[in-house]
Amino acid sequence: MGKSSVKGAVFLIIDEEYNQHLVETKLLKESFPGSEVYELDYEKAETFRERDKDVIGILVQISFNMTKDFMLRFPNLKAISVYGGGFNNVDVKAATDLGIKVSRSPDYANHEVAEFAIWSILYFAKKPFYLRERAEKGYWGARAVSDLPIDTWDVEKMEELPTRVYGSNLFIIGYGKIGKTIAMKAKGLGMNVYFYDPNVKADGLAAEVELEEGLRLADYVVLSVPLTETTRNMINYERMKLMKRTAYMINVGRGGVINEADLIKALKEKVIRGAALDVFEKEPLPAESELYRLPNVVVTPHAVYVSDKSIKDLKALATTNLIKLIKGERVPGCVNCQS
């Protein structure tokens, strides 16, 4: 990318998650010599009034709402780049009407998210922490699993019984790049993989099924869909009742895709056996949430995308997207550019 002359240009980085923006600042100033970069938390962003007319680009976290009223404060704003694959925080229609290009940041953490999904499957199947507790109490070998007569062991009745992943059924809801990466890794474990996604055709890696059929088949359900009016609350109590009582739910998409009250009810009633959740209807997940206290739930703080490599990739990608949009160059992550 060459240098551009935009005299007195100002960039805003609106972020309360990352505590440093050296990568972003360096790239912006290299591409736009003489520009200034303001690093703002959410409160400061709401009150920022110093250089409104000079702001041409904004880098923003997915948890800050880019409303029409907020964008109207910057008459020369050309582009917004979101740190992340989602962009629900941006009023894209308003941005389009105002001539502002919006970009998300896809694919930087596909492997990280997929690896968490696979780890969750192995965690639920192999019971490592339960077995550690039994080992500390002096149990060893098969007796570490259970004191019940071994020939009566039954996965339907024994939540602590480890299970074989090979040959089990994985149902992926949302078969974009992350979904396909999960499928690829699951096939390596010998799993039978199914998917549901009305917007994607089968690729030979996973078999396409209807939503209800997939839920019935699944030993593990992985959600990797964005939050839209179509996907909101798509997993509710009635649909969870279609699942095996030994099945597990794993959500790496968006929190609102699962009705949390229904999920808690289903877990308490043992309609399904457990869940691993990285995303929630409200984030941060309130401390009083019952999900923290249910023994069959893994809660992580919307952070499974983080790794030694992914954050560096994301910071560079989001900034590069912003620079290219301002220069009128093509950006694959643009959500309101003319194709």
Residue 337 lies in a domain: no
Q: What's the rounded Cα separation, in Å, for the pair 167 and 90?
A: 42
Tokens 């910057």 correspond to what residue? 74
Q: Are residues 22 and 103 in the same domain?
A: yes
Q: Are residues 29 and 119 in the same domain?
A: no
Q: What is the pLDDT of residue 1?
A: 54
What is the mean pLDDT, run by run of 10 residues, along the chain of 339 residues? Answer: 70 97 98 97 94 97 96 98 93 98 97 98 98 97 97 97 98 98 98 97 96 98 95 98 98 96 98 98 96 97 97 98 97 88
Q: What is the pLDDT of residue 2?
A: 57
Q: Are residues 221 and 321 in the same domain?
A: no
Q: What is the pLDDT of residue 86?
A: 87
Q: Are residues 290 and 214 in the same domain?
A: yes
Residue 138 lies in a domain: no
Q: Are residues 256 and 281 in the same domain?
A: yes
Q: How many domains does the chain fold into?
A: 2
Q: Are residues 24 and 96 in the same domain?
A: yes
Angle at the Cα of 37 from the Cα atoms of 32 and 40, rounded to 5 degrees: 155
Q: What is the pLDDT of residue 8?
A: 87
Residue 283 lies in a domain: yes
Strand partners, 277: 251, 299
Closest alpha carbon to 87 in 202, 226, 236: 226
Q: What is the pLDDT of residue 16?
A: 96
Q: Are residues 117 and 43 in the same domain?
A: no
Residue 133 lies in a domain: no
Full domain range(s) for residue 65 = 10-108+309-326
Q: What is the pLDDT of residue 34?
A: 95
Q: Are residues 67 and 122 in the same domain?
A: no
Q: Are residues 118 and 31 in the same domain?
A: no
In this structure, the number of other CB atoms found within 10 A of the CB of residue 199 comes to 8
Q: What is the CATH number of the domain that holds 198?
A: 3.40.50.720
**What is the pTM (predicted TM-score) of this model?**
0.91
Q: Are residues 294 and 318 in the same domain?
A: no
In this structure, the number of other CB atoms found within 10 A of the CB of residue 42 comes to 14
Residue 145 lies in a domain: no
Q: What is the pLDDT of residue 3?
A: 60
Q: Are residues 92 and 183 in the same domain?
A: no
Contact 132, 221 (CB under 8 A): no
Contact 61, 17 (CB under 8 A): yes
Task: Provide the CB-side half-sphere exposure for 37 (13 A, CA).
Answer: 21
Closest alpha carbon to 13 in 30, 27, 1: 27
Residues 6+ apart with CB under 8 A from 184: 114, 205
Residue 240 lies in a domain: yes
Q: What's the rounded Cα separation, in Å, for the pair 180 and 14?
A: 32
Q: What's the rounded Cα separation, in Å, for the pair 135 and 141?
A: 9
Residue 103 lies in a domain: yes
| Residue numbers annotated as active site | 254, 283, 302
Residue 148 lies in a domain: no
Tokens 């040959």 correspond to what residue? 167
Contact 275, 251 (CB under 8 A): yes
Q: Are residues 72 and 172 in the same domain?
A: no
Q: What is the pLDDT of residue 244?
A: 98
